[in-house]
Chains A and B, each alone.
Chain A
Amino acid sequence: MRFSVDIRGGETADILGGNLAVDILIAEDEPSILESLDFILRRAGWSIDSATDGEAVLEKVRRSRPRVLVLDVMLPKRSGFDVLKQLRSDVETKDLPVLILTAKGQQQDRRIAEELGADGFVTKPYSNAEVVGAVRQLLGEDDGPA
């Protein structure tokens, strides 16, 4: 079963073309979670791209140049931590703000995330406001659109 994202008008080209910078790249392999994230972040006014496995994330970071990466830990092919490590070791991406999402929610994961240089950490199940607030903070738009 494939999901379809309700895409608003002109932004479709950005995403499908993949050459334009986006506000947020969502890395999440669970379709329904991806759909909910896409919905709430898009509703908050940001442009969105998404990836469903670790390798695709690295590829899309290079291509879409997101301002913030929302990164799930349990990703196929390369785990979220693996991706984060890779990003931090690259000069071009070492300053990319990364918000880690995890369903494990254990102290261990939070510690690893901090050590690897994550900028935020949200545990599933999250409240929508929590994710939006965290992303907003990482975008430096504390007083931006609600």
Chain B
Amino acid sequence: MLSADFVIATAVAYVGLLFVLAYFGDRHTRANRSSFLRSPAVYTLSISVYCTSWTFYGAVGNAARGGLEFLTIYLGPTIVFVGWWFVLRKLVRIGRLQAITSIADLLSSRYGKSSRLAVLVTLIAVIGITPYIALQLKAITASIQAVAASAEGARGSLAGVDDGALAFGIAAGMALFTILFGTRNVDAKEQHHGVVAAIAFEAVVKLAALVAVGIFVTFGLGGGFEAVFRGAEAAGIAIYEDDPFGPRWVAMTVLSAAAIICLPRQFQITVVENSNEDHLRTAGWAFPAYLLLMCVFTLPIALYGMTVMPPGSNPDMFVLTLPLSAGQSGLALLAFIGGFSSATSMIIVASIALSIMVSNHIIMPIILRSSNVGQGDGQGVRRLLLLSRRISIGVILTLGFLYFSLTGDDALAPIGLISFAGVAQFLPAILAGLYWREASLRGAASGIFVGFVVWAWTMFMPSFETVSPWVYAVMQQGPWGIGFLRPENMLGLNGLDPLVHSVFWSLLLNTVVLVLGSLLSNQSALERIQAAAFVDVFRRRPFEHRGFVPGSATANDLYFVAERVLGESRAASLFEAAAEERGVEPALLEPTPEFIGRLERELAGSIGSASAHVMLSKVVAGGDVSLEEMMQMADETQQVIEYSQELEKTSAELRLTARKLEDANAQLRELDSQKDEFLSQVSHEVRTPMTSIRSFSEILMEPSDLNDSQRQRFITTIHQESLRLTKLLDEILDLSALERGERSWRNVPVDAEDALDRAVAVCDALLRQKGMRVEFGERAHVTMVEGDSDRLCQVFINLISNAVKYNDADDPVVQINSTVRSGQFVVDVADNGPGISKSDRKLIFEKFWRGVEGGGDQGGAGLGLAISRQIIARMNGSLELVQGSLPGACFRVRLPVVKQASQS
């Protein structure tokens, strides 16, 4: 036999277990990023916080009273989750990108980070959820009372304690538990892994309990589904008589679908606590499956209960009272714990979610506006934040308790529906926010407000009908006797179910006002940015919102703010990471708009986007204004920004290409003019021998009295000039090939000394003709260089013959030295000729430059030195004019010596 004391003790022990679970769950996920507590299964189970004691107890009662209607409560969420790809995926993605902390934060962030909208949504949520919390208190109270009433003496210490006192005790206990549970610290992303773990555990417990009771009742007591249904029919219970598929069915399906999105606790679990978008894929089928299991035994329990239980017993408690009356204490205790699980999980998550909203959107902004953020001790804002959350939890549970004591509705389901209809007022603004770019703050806020007022008038207030004569009077006659304002008969719309009536009017007016308000008002720049970021979240790369222009803000100011909110270690690591990224000392960190944007997101994770925005705006003075001005000037839409960024990129590329083309063009022009100059000089060099040839040919062609020696002489000149012309053309081609880079050129180790000896031998005839001496100075021995032996010889011939040609000294001498100095083979060819004048020194290696001092040579085209220099360059050496030991010119050839791998 169960006693009240025993179940209370069990409940307390159970709560203790939950606390331990949460504690270790927290530690586990902190230490282990891929913990199973971040798995899709735990995520799905935690979403089933949707199933509260309303579904645990109330669904049976609902079925007993309204037949299949109870199914709508499961149908709406099933539709939303099966179609997760459409709405939930977008919500979760936005939640992650924008660091959304609550449903109020979502709406505020979407509509231009408006603090006022956040406050409005928070207030509505608190008021809307109050009946829901009352429902849980009522369910727990009723379940304990059911145990107490089950047998003589079961009351125990509850003797003389009425429902109110019991509910107060429960509320106080819950408040304490939630405070211990959910506000131990302020997390960056507002995620509570430990709590989620405990909630998932509770989901398993309540499902197991309900299924166990269902199996026991259906098969143990009722003898199977068919027997239960036949028994009910025999007892004359006709729960199918009402046509369920009417307006009420539609309204409830819509409400439950809205609730799974809009309920603060569902938003908290589905969006805020989501650690991986892919988990939705699992939840998309697993959560509907969970709901199916939850509701499969609802009807049999309801029917069997109505068949066997005495008339007047509360059908909401059949789940508990059927095992009790069958004497199954163990099963009854399990049922109690299951119901307790359903209620506590709802209260915990709902009050955490609401407390976050209240502290972020109501308390923090007030503190931020009235005091200077930069003052106080290091943990000021964090401590305030926690304190404000604890107080909020207390206030929320107190409200729930007050509602419980003030209203008198016996059934659980209608109370839940009041909450559903209340939070459903957020749905139009959320859907418009996700899919309609033009939806504006003014439209959304007015829509929500109007919807809320209609809801409060037509649904919330009437729930006080039984306890307030004034409410009763208003409902009967209308305010001041105005009939068409009667809460359940608005504008003369009579004959509708009160729920349908309220849902119809509130959502209709809400939506109409939202649309009209959006069409008639203009969005601010920030709204437009946020609208694009939300509506097009999948279409574009994450938009780095540059909300601030670094004006007066210093890294120090920002650090103070961050430290207050995030705590010292997190703030420090954030700043250090940013400084490291930019490669500067943390103290020298320049607050760029990107960094301030990142900081804002981090702060938003703790205190909501609106508060974070306000907080940073105080530090970064004036930043917003200039942003909005800039945005307005640039026609503001994100597409324009991105488009112009693209354009800018493209035009930068074009500019670069144009510059390259310009350079190439200039180079081509330079080459072209060099080519013209070259051709002009070639032309000159060709015309010169041609002139002699033509002139002497004409002389010879004319009949004249030339003597034989003259004739012979002219013919010789013509011949010589022809040879000169040929040599000229050969040299031009040779030089051109050298400059272009001959493919056939191959450097191989050759003996440079040998090439020099051959060159001297070739020049021997020329030297003797001129009566010129060769003096050999120092000579290197066999020296290997990389090159072409014949070409090297050609260079030496050119140098020696130049020394001969232009030497007009009385005792002409050419001096040849060769040495190996620091890895280089060095050859000097010097003469005692007139030398090269200072002004000519730069020109001697130019094409077509010829020494003029000697003036005797007719064979050269002035290409010899240019060709020689090219040849030596191809051998990686150098040819230059140096100061020699003799008074004339001295040319020096340097070539790198090949290191011989093996020397014999």
Across the interface, B688 reaches (CB within 8 A) one of A33, A77, A129, namely: A33
B704 contact set on A, CB distance < 8 A = 43
* Nearest CB of B to A121, in Å: 14
Chain A residues 1-38 with CB under 8 Å of chain B are 1-2, 6, 29-33, 35-37
**Does B687 sit within 8 A of A, measured CB to CB?**
yes
B694 contact set on A, CB distance < 8 A = 125-127
Q: Which of A35, A53, A77 has the most chain B CB within a 10 Å cutoff? A: A35
Chain A residues 40-80 with CB under 8 Å of chain B are 40, 43, 52-53, 74, 76-77
**Does B176 sit within 8 A of A, measured CB to CB?**
no
**Does A124 sit within 8 A of B, measured CB to CB?**
yes
Taking a contact as CB atoms under 8 Å apart, the answer to whether A36 and B852 are in contact is no
**Does A105 sit within 8 A of B, measured CB to CB?**
yes
Taking a contact as CB atoms under 8 Å apart, the answer to whether A126 and B856 are in contact is no
Q: Which of A76, A103, A123, A126 has the most chain B CB within a 10 Å cutoff? A: A103
Taking a contact as CB atoms under 8 Å apart, the answer to whether B683 and A105 are in contact is yes
Chain B residues 686-727 with CB under 8 Å of chain A are 687-696, 698-699, 704, 710, 717, 720-721
Taking a contact as CB atoms under 8 Å apart, the answer to whether B692 and A36 are in contact is yes
Interface string of A73-100 (1 = CB under 8 A from B): 0101100000000000000000000000
**Does B777 sit within 8 A of A, measured CB to CB?**
no
B683 contact set on A, CB distance < 8 A = 103-105
* Nearest CB of B to A16, in Å: 20
Taking a contact as CB atoms under 8 Å apart, the answer to whether B855 and A125 are in contact is no
Q: How far is the CA of A43 from the CA of B695 in the complex (A)?
A: 13
Taking a contact as CB atoms under 8 Å apart, the answer to whether A31 and B695 are in contact is no
A74 contact set on B, CB distance < 8 A = 684
Taking a contact as CB atoms under 8 Å apart, the answer to whether B699 and A30 are in contact is no
Q: How far is the CA of A124 from the CA of B769 in the complex (A)?
A: 32
Across the interface, B852 reaches (CB within 8 A) one of A32, A76, A104, namely: A76
Taking a contact as CB atoms under 8 Å apart, the answer to whether A125 and B693 are in contact is yes
Across the interface, B680 reaches (CB within 8 A) one of A1, A6, A104, A129, namely: A104
Q: How far is the CA of A105 from the CA of B692 in the complex (A)?
A: 16
A125 contact set on B, CB distance < 8 A = 687, 690-691, 693-695
Taking a contact as CB atoms under 8 Å apart, the answer to whether B858 and A36 are in contact is no
A123 contact set on B, CB distance < 8 A = 687
Taking a contact as CB atoms under 8 Å apart, the answer to whether A104 and B695 are in contact is no
Taking a contact as CB atoms under 8 Å apart, the answer to whether A40 and B690 are in contact is no
Across the interface, B687 reaches (CB within 8 A) one of A2, A103, A128, namely: A103
Taking a contact as CB atoms under 8 Å apart, the answer to whether A52 and B691 are in contact is no
A106 contact set on B, CB distance < 8 A = 680
Q: How far is the CA of A126 from the CA of B680 in the complex (A)?
A: 18
Q: How far is the CA of A33 from the CA of B718 in the complex (A)?
A: 11
Q: How far is the CA of A128 from the CA of B694 in the complex (A)?
A: 9
Taking a contact as CB atoms under 8 Å apart, the answer to whether B710 and A126 are in contact is no
Q: How far is the CA of A53 from the CA of B692 in the complex (A)?
A: 19
Q: How far is the CA of A4 from the CA of B611 in the complex (A)?
A: 108
Taking a contact as CB atoms under 8 Å apart, the answer to whether A124 and B690 are in contact is yes
Q: Which of B692, B855, B856 has the most chain A CB within a 10 Å cutoff? A: B692
* Nearest CB of A to B891, in Å: 21
Taking a contact as CB atoms under 8 Å apart, the answer to whether B688 and A124 are in contact is yes
Known contacts: A32-B858, A124-B690. The answer to whether A40 contacts B684 by CB under 8 A is no
B680 contact set on A, CB distance < 8 A = 104, 106
- On chain B, the number of residues with a Cβ less than 8 Å from chain A's Cβ atoms is 24
B695 contact set on A, CB distance < 8 A = 33, 36-37, 40, 125-126, 128
Q: How far is the CA of A77 from the CA of B693 in the complex (A)?
A: 26
B684 contact set on A, CB distance < 8 A = 74, 103-104
Q: Which of B695, B720, B721, B856 has the most chain A CB within a 10 Å cutoff? A: B695
* Nearest CB of A to B37, in Å: 90
* Nearest CB of B to A101, in Å: 9
* Nearest CB of A to B240, in Å: 113
Q: How far is the CA of A37 from the CA of B691 in the complex (A)?
A: 10
Q: How far is the CA of A103 from the CA of B704 in the complex (A)?
A: 28
Known contacts: A6-B710, A125-B693, A126-B695. The answer to whether A30 contacts B687 by CB under 8 A is no
A30 contact set on B, CB distance < 8 A = 688, 691-692, 858
Chain B residues 844-864 with CB under 8 Å of chain A are 852, 855-856, 858
A129 contact set on B, CB distance < 8 A = 698
Chain B residues 662-696 with CB under 8 Å of chain A are 680, 683-684, 687-696
Q: How far is the CA of A106 from the CA of B680 in the complex (A)?
A: 9
Q: How far is the CA of A31 from the CA of B690 in the complex (A)?
A: 13
B698 contact set on A, CB distance < 8 A = 127-129
Nearest B residue to A127, CB-CB: B698
Q: How far is the CA of A39 from the CA of B704 in the complex (A)?
A: 12
Across the interface, A76 reaches (CB within 8 A) one of B689, B717, B855, namely: B855
Q: How far is the CA of A102 from the CA of B748 in the complex (A)?
A: 46
A37 contact set on B, CB distance < 8 A = 695
Q: How far is the CA of A6 from the CA of B673 in the complex (A)?
A: 44
A32 contact set on B, CB distance < 8 A = 689, 692, 696, 717, 720-721, 858
Taking a contact as CB atoms under 8 Å apart, the answer to whether A36 and B687 are in contact is no
Chain B residues 74-93 with CB under 8 Å of chain A are none
Across the interface, B691 reaches (CB within 8 A) one of A1, A76, A104, A126, namely: A126
Taking a contact as CB atoms under 8 Å apart, the answer to whether B699 and A128 are in contact is yes
Q: Which of A36, A40, A53 has the most chain B CB within a 10 Å cutoff? A: A36
* Nearest CB of B to A107, in Å: 12
A104 contact set on B, CB distance < 8 A = 680, 683-684, 687
B858 contact set on A, CB distance < 8 A = 1, 30-32
B717 contact set on A, CB distance < 8 A = 32, 35
Nearest B residue to A73, CB-CB: B684
Taking a contact as CB atoms under 8 Å apart, the answer to whether B690 and A2 are in contact is no
B856 contact set on A, CB distance < 8 A = 1-2
B721 contact set on A, CB distance < 8 A = 32
Nearest B residue to A31, CB-CB: B858
A40 contact set on B, CB distance < 8 A = 695, 699
Chain A residues 105-146 with CB under 8 Å of chain B are 105-106, 123-129
Q: How far is the CA of A78 from the CA of B699 in the complex (A)?
A: 31
Nearest A residue to B683, CB-CB: A104
* Nearest CB of B to A146, in Å: 11
Q: How far is the CA of A52 from the CA of B684 in the complex (A)?
A: 17
Nearest A residue to B717, CB-CB: A32
A124 contact set on B, CB distance < 8 A = 687-688, 690-691
Q: How far is the CA of A76 from the CA of B852 in the complex (A)?
A: 7
* Nearest CB of A to B851, in Å: 10
* Nearest CB of A to B712, in Å: 13
Taking a contact as CB atoms under 8 Å apart, the answer to whether A36 and B855 are in contact is no
* Nearest CB of A to B702, in Å: 8
B692 contact set on A, CB distance < 8 A = 30, 32-33, 35-36
Taking a contact as CB atoms under 8 Å apart, the answer to whether B710 and A36 are in contact is no
Nearest B residue to A103, CB-CB: B687
A126 contact set on B, CB distance < 8 A = 691, 694-695
* Nearest CB of B to A140, in Å: 24
Nearest A residue to B852, CB-CB: A76
* Nearest CB of B to A98, in Å: 19
B720 contact set on A, CB distance < 8 A = 32
Q: How far is the CA of A74 from the CA of B685 in the complex (A)?
A: 11
Nearest B residue to A1, CB-CB: B856
A103 contact set on B, CB distance < 8 A = 683-684, 687-688, 691
* Nearest CB of A to B728, in Å: 13
Nearest A residue to B698, CB-CB: A128
Q: How far is the CA of A43 from the CA of B696 in the complex (A)?
A: 13
A33 contact set on B, CB distance < 8 A = 688, 691-692, 695
Residue positions of B touching A, CB distance < 8 A: 680, 683-684, 687-696, 698-699, 704, 710, 717, 720-721, 852, 855-856, 858
Q: Which 10 A-B pairs have the closest CB atoms?
A: A36-B695, A103-B687, A32-B692, A76-B852, A124-B691, A125-B694, A125-B691, A125-B690, A103-B684, A128-B698
Please give 9 more A-B residue pairs, beta carbons under 8 A apart, in addition to A39-B699, A127-B698: A29-B855, A32-B696, A32-B717, A35-B717, A104-B683, A106-B680, A124-B688, A127-B694, A129-B698
* Chain A to chain B contacts (Cβ below 8 Å), 13 pairs: A30-B688, A30-B692, A30-B858, A32-B696, A33-B691, A37-B695, A39-B699, A40-B699, A53-B852, A103-B683, A105-B683, A125-B691, A125-B695
